[in-house]
Chains A and B, each alone.
Chain A
Amino acid sequence: MNDLLRMYELMAVIRRTEKAAYDLFMAGLVKGTTHLASGQEAVAVGASEALRDDDYTFATYRGHHHTIARGATPEACLAELMSKATGLCGGKGGSMHLTYAAGNMLGSYAIVGSHLPMAVGAAWSAQLRGSEQIAVAFFGDGATNIGAFHEALNLAAVWKLPVVFVCENNLYMEYTPIASVTAVANPAADRACAYNLPASIVDGNDVLVVRSAVREAAARARDGGGPTVLEMQTYRHFGHSRTDPATYRPSWEVEEWLSRDPLTIAAAQLSKEDVAAADARAEKVVAEAVEAAKAAPPAEGALTDVWADGSSTWRT
């Protein structure tokens, strides 16, 4: 299978997994909230294609795509969303905290900005080991206005660490247009110069473009060239979270971006037969994942795992 077809299929699996998550939500089988990444799949898939298996990634609460792109199964993700014992975090993390350590996807973080310094630390560990691994932090445009973003960029720059900072600029910080609360036009890329870091603005909906941008940044990091800031221009197809109908976005803008759907862009470069076959495979994988996740036993142990010995308290 050629690379693009493989990436297309992965994006198709992610798209369908999130659709399934939404449906399960509506059916009352997922509680709480979820933040869908539909429309942003190319960032996750293109980036992971550019990474070694032992490279580290860190994502946000909008992290379904990043988790599956690093090899987690749709079943384990959906089971986690449904608080099932077979979920990625045993059902104790939920949608916002998907983690797939086996794939070196070191977590999704729901306190905006919190994971950027963590990626710096993971990169530092690689530097200390001399292992030539790199770390990638994915974050939103909104995250560029919180202190942790600036601290992380400076730390990584000062220590010349192998980190790639990947901003998914989807134009909105929840309900607020990012331009209305940010001093610069390109929230991540325009800040990079303040830390003497190279930056580029990337078409985040074209999976091949994403891959080559991340490849270049990853190679620089691995060669001791230090961190890079990549700002991926993309768009979420749905609202911020499940309850948000996203009425604050002008319809021309939504339409324009829907016409630039990362799946459509990839499909246009593939044969119709290949795309249809990939869609069918994705459909099947996700349908089976839904059934398996539904059938799995519920999570248990709200009271365990607080301490290193597995217990939750020193009181008897």
Chain B
Amino acid sequence: MADTLTIGKALNLGLRRAMEDDPKVVLMGEDIGKLGGVFRITDGLQKDFGEDRVIDTPLAESGIVGTAIGLALRGYRPVVEIQFDGFVYPAYDQIVCQVAKMHFRSRGKVSLPIVIRIPFGGGIGAVEHHSESPEAYFAHTAGLKVVACSNPSDAYWMIQQAIASDDPIVFFEPKRRYWEKGPVDTDSAPFALHESVVTRPGSDVTVLAYGPMVRTALDAATAAEEDGRSLEVIDLRTLSPLDMVPVYESVRRTGRAIVVHEAPGNLGLGAELAARITEECFYSLEAPVLRVTGYDTPYPAARLEEEYLPDLDRVLDGVDRSFGW
């Protein structure tokens, strides 16, 4: 069955379905129960599944994630909501020191099927803590898997796949796109969780994006078409592990690659992607792999964020730079 849903609603339905499918799925977070979360992603779930499965927690991120570990150790599949990106850091210790390492440390005997949902990125006029893109911190940590959804169909399916995964997953949601609509086929998942996907085929340059920047990249591709340039847009979807096969395949055809993300450029995902593309596609490249990213500064105040965030013009400028090489 195909529906038109917002990303927020698709996540909500995905969570609902995961809870129906598996009674071991429990949700935890601040204000997620009665209120349904500040972005209403868990709207109605406490009412339907009860206070034992949708838990309004105290303000205690480290405690929340730590508790999720204990639940997961004994067979549950906790899904933790972190209210905004910047509030994950009090839990960072538990995530990096425990969640990420338990499976390795126990020589594979213990798995922690925990999903940590984080609304990330800017564009909503909020300041630091409320607009950050911390994905690289987690992708850098072995033992964690990191994904980012960019559209309603992926929101619906990826959240279910993440919950079903036996590995701990940091699940990034593009908060400024929560209200964007798109088709969702609720019968079958179009892609596997850790698969990068060509969302718009093209022939001149490969644009790699994820989360909120996929829409920006697609808009740039539409605009570039008017200039006679054909952009191929790949939605990475999985940030750790990376799925490089479609990326290499694309770059070998186009000879150019641009990575777009909101996070600062310094040691961001773009750095890893550029390195790997260079290692694998060196002789196909017509230009160095370029990055269009946020700047190496803390996230700025509301009125300055337009200056900070990569937008359509900056992506097109990246394309120009690549062709100018």
Contact = CB atoms under 8 A, between A and B. Distances in A.
Interface of A: 31-33, 82-83, 91-94, 96-97, 110-113, 142-143, 145-148, 173-176, 180-182, 248, 298-300, 302-303, 306, 312-313, 315
Interface in B300-314: 300-305, 307-308
Given A32-B127, A181-B58, A302-B295, A248 B34 contact: yes
Given A147-B62, A147-B90, A33 B34 contact: no
Nearest to A95: B127
22 contacts: A31-B302, A32-B124, A33-B126, A83-B304, A91-B304, A93-B301, A97-B128, A111-B87, A142-B59, A146-B60, A146-B61, A146-B62, A146-B90, A174-B31, A175-B34, A180-B56, A181-B58, A248-B34, A248-B35, A302-B297, A302-B305, A302-B307
Contact of B304 (A92, A111, A313): A92
A174 B302 contact: no
Indicate the size class of the contact surface on chain B. 35 or more
Nearest to A93: B301
A47 to B, nearest CB: 23
B30 A176 contact: yes
Given A33-B126, A145-B58, A312-B296, A298 B31 contact: no
Overall SS of chain B's interface = loop
A298 B301 CA distance: 12
Nearest to A84: B303
A143 B62 CA distance: 13
A92 B302 CA distance: 8
B186 interface: no
B125 interface: yes
* Majority SS at the chain A contact face: loop
Nearest to B83: A174
A236 to B, nearest CB: 16
B45 to A, nearest CB: 15
A91 B86 CA distance: 20
B282 interface: no
Interface string B288-325: 00000001111011111101100000000000000000
B89 interface: yes
A176 B125 CA distance: 25
B70 interface: no
Contacts of B30: 173-174, 176
A303 B309 CA distance: 12
> Which of B38, B89, B127, B128 neighbours the largest number of chain A CB atoms within 10 Å of its CB?
B127
Contacts of B295: 302-303, 312-313
A31 to B, nearest CB: 3
A92 B300 contact: yes
B63 interface: yes
A300 B308 CA distance: 12
A83 B301 contact: yes
Given A175-B35, A176-B34, A306-B296, A181 B57 contact: yes
B126 A181 contact: no
Nearest to A90: B301
Contact of A306 (B35, B297, B303): B297
A198 to B, nearest CB: 25
B129 interface: yes
Contacts of B31: 174-176
A173 B127 contact: no
